[in-house]
Amino acid sequence: MLGLNVIILGGAWEDTIMVNALRSLLVPKSYRTIVLFVIFSILLFVSDSSFSRLNAETMLLPVENSWIRIQNVGTDPAEIQIEFYEDDGDVVANDQCPERAKCTALQPGFGWSFFQQTLGDLAPGYQGSAFVTSDQPFVAMLARDSFLDNGRFQIGGDSLYLGSSGGNLYLPLVQNTADFVSRIAVQNSSDLRAACVQLIFYEDGMLSPVAVEPLEPTSGCTFGGVRLEPRATMFVDEETMPVRFGFDGSVVVKTYRTDEGIAAESQVISAMVDSRSRNDAGLASYRGFGENEMSNTLVLPLVDRNATERYSQWSTRFRILSSIPNVPNEVTLLFDGMNENGEHVEIEHTVNVLGSLTCDQRLTGEDACLPPDFDLPSTFLGTVRMDSTNPVAVVVQRISPNGSIADYRGFSAEEAARQVVLPVVNKNFGPWGDRVGWNSWFRVQTFDDSVAHVTIIYYSKEFPNGLFHTIGSVRVNGDKTFRQWEVTSLPDGWVGSAVIIADRPIVVLANLESDVFEGDPVMLYNAITLD
């Protein structure tokens, strides 16, 4: 089977979250210092050029490598331990920090990147999962990158969720088309109890499923699903998806009671979807939504049409998936932004969601989830707010004419917070020739569209006590983009972490991008809530 580079998160943390430089401003919260996620590491995939029974030609995947970014959000230096597991749940390797000649204990606010490519105990071809522990609260994200045969580069990743899934998971955007192919990884994040899981496939705009996997109960899962032992992982790709070529829809990962009596709702599972362009270098990843992450109100901080940021022009599309896919759902969308002349644009429209619905800002009218015979301005930079009758999950896919793609998850009210963190940001990092290298930007949006005042603190070895972006706070009227290459107090060649403090609940979306590589050197990820 072709693998999928995915990350999944389960578990939680426990301790007081506080950034050293702003102890008086931060609100304490409890977390457990345990994270579990599925990753690909040092993967070399090969395939024949045959056609499967249901699908188009199998993609030939490149060498792939993953890296894990950990940020200490505690009050004391953090020690990190990582255990790597095979698909069946057996431990095969370890990594840690501090380690002689590698890294020291992470100071409060600091981040560190663990690269699986340089971990000698992991053999080429490894794919599996990891279990991360720390003596301090932390946040985490995972990314992977690869070079195609033609030298083009690609990167994708997502931040990790540290809470219990509570049973079912929701994957709004899954494809096996002529343009894009998705791969799914599902992990049993428990270290003690087995899980029984089933994948239910829905075509976009249909109330009834078109396929399930597995179709019949299996050994150890007589009530339904396939058995996953503790910390085991299952992968589904275009060769093993039980759907026709051309499928463009969503997946619900359903849990069933195990033969030992472990209730479906008590099982802790994680999932990740990885999407590739069949014809370009595009790569994007997002993690699955737990039932507790579905919401009646969502905000999308980045919804664009032919908008330019840094090196590329972008448009978006987003897919809405209902928590009850077989029941029609009414969703009201508010597009709010500006055209190329800076003029305000606001459009409100109510749509009927049958299972799932795709809104493509490159299109017009109903295909864009707009009134008939209506479209956005030729250039639109904005946001979307949505309110629904039944809870929904949304994935936004950013698409460039040059073949780059990047995914992010719509933000619920539960994710809006007065303190959020970004595990990795950078300024002109890794330059080459006349290219400046990796840069980041992030967009801050107030959840209720009000005015917020935010304070941004950057951390790294250069700024152990935190570098304050400005003296005082920055006013954010609805939304505002912060570009690290414009921060003169950050040195060139810088990589670090950020903490954002606000006087109102906010959500934050981050972008990483390099001008050194051709292909798809772009990645979006959701900032992580600390409240």
pLDDT of residue 46: 33
* Distance from C-alpha of 200 to C-alpha of 215, rounded to nearest angstrom: 9
pLDDT of residue 469: 87
Q: What is the mean pLDDT of the chain?
A: 87
* Distance from C-alpha of 180 to C-alpha of 405, rounded to nearest angstrom: 10
Q: Which two tokens stand for residue 210?
A: 């078109």
CATH classification number, 294-414, choose in 3.40.50.620, 3.20.20.150, 2.60.290.11, 3.20.20.70: 2.60.290.11
Model pLDDT for residues 274-321, shown as the tens digit of each residue: 999 988 889 999 999 998 889 999 999 999 999 988 777 899 999 999
User: What 8-state DSSP symbol labels residue 20?
Assistant: G
* Distance from C-alpha of 412 to C-alpha of 295, rounded to nearest angstrom: 6
How crowded is residue 14: how many other Cβ atoms within 10 Å of its Cβ?
Answer: 11
- Write the Ramachandran bin of 430: left for phi over 0, alpha for psi from -120 to 50, otherwise beta: left
Low-confidence ranges of the chain (pLDDT < 50): 1-32, 41-55
Q: How do the residues of the chain divide into helix, strand and coil, expressed in percent and rounded to 5? A: 5, 55, 40
Q: What residues contact 461, with CB distance under 8 A and at least 6 apart? A: 110
Q: What residues contact 452, with CB distance under 8 A and at least 6 apart? A: 444, 446, 475, 476, 502, 503, 504, 506
pLDDT of residue 97: 94
pLDDT of residue 43: 44
Q: What residues contact 359, with CB distance under 8 A and at least 6 apart? A: 317, 318, 319, 320, 333, 351, 367, 368, 369
Model pLDDT for residues 162-189, shown as the tens digit of each residue: 656 668 999 999 999 999 999 999 989 8
pLDDT of residue 322: 97
- Write the Ramachandran bin of 428: left for phi over 0, alpha for psi from -120 to 50, otherwise beta: left
**∠277-198-320 over CA atoms, to 5°?**
50
CATH number for the domain whose boundaries are 416-529 = 2.60.290.11
CATH 3.40.50.410 fits 20-289, yes or no: no
Model pLDDT for residues 370-398, shown as the tens digit of each residue: 999 889 999 999 999 999 999 999 999 99
Model pLDDT for residues 11-28, shown as the tens digit of each residue: 332 233 334 444 433 333
Q: Which residues pair with 444 in a beta bridge?
A: 480, 508
Q: Which two tokens stand for residue 68?
A: 């894990």
Per-domain boundaries in the chain: 20-289, 294-414, 416-529
User: What 8-state DSSP symbol labels residue 18?
Assistant: -
- Integer Rg of the chain from CA: 22
| Pairing outcome for strands 283-287 and 269-277 | antiparallel
Q: Which residues pair with 464 in a beta bridge?
A: none
Position 382, amino acid: G
Which of these, 527, 268, 511, lies nearest to 420 by C-alpha position?
527
- Identical fold at 294-414 and 416-529? yes
